[in-house]
Amino acid sequence: MENENTLRRLKTVEGHLRGVIRMVEEDAYCIDVIRQIQAIEAALNKVSSRILEDHLNSCVITAVQGSDRKERERVLKEITEVFEMSTKV
């Protein structure tokens, strides 16, 4: 069910992106294009946040509660890397 929700959101973003492409092709007002791009970015950020939340509540919890130290370190390193990449944008 959660996967369906994620796919629905991504397909909505895809439709908005096609709309922005059309706007650029039709030489729409720059600020309108930027606003639409910002809306797409916000929607993608929301999808990323939900996927991350699901990951934290499943894979990460399983690894942290497990006995494999290397696996714990690996998943925590992944989370750190994702956070670092998000601040570079």
2-88 belongs to CATH 2.60.40.1220: no
Contact assessment for residue 66 and residue 49, using Cβ atoms and an 8 Å cutoff? no
Q: For residues 52 and 60, give the distance between their C-alpha atoms in angstroms, rounded to a whole number.
A: 10
Quick: pLDDT tens for 32-49.
999 999 999 999 999 999
- Supply the DSSP string of 22-76, one letter for each residue: HHHHTT--HHHHHHHHHHHHHHHHHHHHHHHHHHIIIIIHHHHHSS-HHHHHHHH
The one-letter amino acid at 32: D
Of 1-5, 24-28, 42-46, 73-77, minimum mean pLDDT range: 1-5
pTM summary value: 0.83
Residue 1, pLDDT score? 63
Distance CA 72, CA 60 (A): 8
Share of the chain above pLDDT 90, in %: 83
